[in-house]
Amino acid sequence: MIPKIPIDRFAIALVALALAAVPACAALGIFGNANMDDVIDEKDIEYLRGIIDGRYEKTDLADANRDGVIDEEDIAQIEAIIKGEEKVLWILDGNGEPVAVHKPVERIVVEYLDNAELVSILNSKDKVVGIDYAVAKSEAQFPDLAKRKNVGQMNEPDYEAVLSTDPDLLLTFSPMNIKSKADNLPGVDVVFLGLYYPDLKDPANSKYVDGVRKLGYILDEEERAEEFIRWNLGWVEEIRSRAAGIPEEERAKVLICAYPYAHLDTGTFRTYSMIDTLTQMAVLTGVKVMAEDLPEFFGSSYNIQVDPEWVIESDPDFIYLHLVAHTYSGLSLEPANGYDATDPAEIKAARDAFASRPVLAEMRAVKEGKVYLGSGSFRNDATGGLIGAAYMAKAFLPEVFDDLDPEAIHQEYITRFLGEDFDLDQGGVFLYPPIEKGDGRLAGIPDRYAERLAPA
């Protein structure tokens, strides 16, 4: 679960972009990236020499060793970063705050799904010495990592448990409490990468992509990070370019809600604002999200509470209910979903319970069977919303995305990037009802349930 945070803390000042010598892209948030592009290389050394001899203006990331002066020592630091031999790497974290990371990093504690996945992607599973509650509960997804020391839920950390693993680095999921975590974990570098900001309107310049790239530098896996970023951005662009052809008046309307709020008759529903990955995924596919008409839509809070009356009046074409299997705060919720779920019976029962609420029965999406339940993995994985968007695209717009196979993208992510043997034809409950691919093959739940779906 994501707490509220202010979103306006983009601390990378882009003053440098006014300079002719600087390319127009978001700067890799590492000190030493003197020319403010997306890599640390020889050009930064040249740029730094230009600053020293007065030809170029100082940039925000030029002071590579952060000692307040720009001199030969910064050139030495950049050379060390290029060789992977730096003792300390200074970065701007996902909140735009400077953080020192001591290298080499050999022992890592990961919080929650995205960090566990990203460390796996960057060939560094062996360095994980501690995991949080959610990863420990996810044995099917993380057969190796789930066996590492479980330090508990990290919303309110057990600091002794974390310290008992003697970590060099703690990768935090939440942008909150970073300072108190750092204060309570002497000798441990606490880093929030910013993976929860995929900005699917402009993903190449997002904090998510920057976070992937930064962890590449921290773990000396820069090339692997770039390989993953290229793959990810390629698919995002594929989805975007197809959605671009949908005329405005033909855009399907989708209501996204958190399942626990939608299911329990609490008198309120929870939908999501534009900064939330769920909303961004849906928008990427070319649909209109119902929340976009709400005044809070462009606000800084992820969640927007709405009345059942608003939900009923909005009468969308589709309802998408977001599930969470294991929360960041250490709870396991029903229905079972994600990699570790194998039988869709629970998610089907959950859908039936929602659709049978009398107050909702007259909604078009309910009557037409266009209510989807989606796994929390889609919001909290390390793909920045890509996999969730691929499933949504196929569910909401099957004609536009006729030959897109979300399961194939998902399987490639698991096999090629996470490095796991997990087979989506055999296990996992990610979307219900599933996508029928023909010939008895399904995407979203294992293929063996195809018969159960067939009309009697």
Which residue, 58 or 437, has its beta carbon nearer to Ca ion?
A: 58
Which residue in 232, 93, 65 sits closest to 171, CA to CA? Answer: 93
Report residue 353 as tokens: 């319970």
Which residue in 380, 331, 326 sits closest to 135, CA to CA? Answer: 326
Nearest distance from residue 40's CB to Ca ion, in Å?
5
Nearest distance from residue 318's CB to Ca ion, in Å?
43
Nearest distance from residue 287's CB to Ca ion, in Å?
38
> Would you say 109 and 162 are in contact if contact means Cβ atoms under 8 Å apart?
yes
Query: In this chain, which stretch among 33-41, 216-224, 232-240, 442-450 interacts with Ca ion, using CB under 5 A?
Result: 33-41
Query: In this chain, which stretch among 44-52, 329-337, 355-363, 403-411 interacts with Ca ion, using CB under 5 A?
Result: 44-52
Which residue, 43 or 437, has its beta carbon nearer to Ca ion?
A: 43
Which residue, 52 or 182, has its beta carbon nearer to Ca ion?
A: 52
Q: How many CA atoms lie within 13 A of 295 on its CB side?
A: 0
Which residue, 13 or 361, has its beta carbon nearer to Ca ion?
A: 13
Query: In this chain, which stretch among 43-51, 287-295, 316-324, 447-455 interacts with Ca ion, using CB under 5 A?
Result: 43-51
Nearest distance from residue 147's CB to Ca ion, in Å?
39
Query: In this chain, which stretch among 57-65, 233-241, 300-308, 382-390 interacts with Ca ion, using CB under 5 A?
Result: 57-65
DSSP of 171-236? EES-SSSHHHHHHHSTT-EEEE--TT---TTSGGGSHHHHHHHHHHHHTT-HHHHHHHHHHHHHHH
Helices assigned H by DSSP within 244-385: 259-263, 277-284, 308-314, 345-355, 364-367, 377-380
Burial of 126 (0-12, 13-18, 19+ CB in 10 A): exposed
Which residue, 35 or 153, has its beta carbon nearer to Ca ion?
A: 35
- Among the listed residues 16, 26, 35, 326, the single contact to Ca ion using CB under 5 A: 35
What is the x/- site pattern for Ca ion, positions 60-89, by CB under 5 A? Answer: ---x-x-x------x---------------
Range 46-76 burial, b when 16+ CB lie within 10 A, else e: ebbebbbeeebeebbbbbbbeeeebeeebbe
Nearest distance from residue 73's CB to Ca ion, in Å?
5
Rounded to whole angstroms, how far apart are CA atoms 35 and 350? 53
Which residue, 63 or 199, has its beta carbon nearer to Ca ion?
A: 63
| Pairing of the two strands 253-258 and 169-172 | unpaired
* Whole-angstrom Cα Rg for the chain: 23
Report residue 320 as tokens: 């998408």
CA 327, 331, 333: angle at the middle one, nearest 5? 85
Nearest distance from residue 178's CB to Ca ion, in Å?
24
> Would you say 455 and 367 are in contact if contact means Cβ atoms under 8 Å apart?
no
Query: In this chain, which stretch among 59-67, 220-228, 280-288, 420-428 interacts with Ca ion, using CB under 5 A?
Result: 59-67
Which residue, 71 or 313, has its beta carbon nearer to Ca ion?
A: 71
What is the x/- site pattern for Ca ion, positions 266-305, by CB under 5 A? Answer: ----------------------------------------
Number of residues that bind Ca ion (CB under 5 A): 8
- Among the listed residues 26, 44, 324, 407, the single contact to Ca ion using CB under 5 A: 44
Examine residue 37 and tell whether it contacts Ca ion (CB under 5 A).
yes
Binding site for Ca ion (CB under 5 A): 33, 35, 37, 44, 63, 65, 67, 74
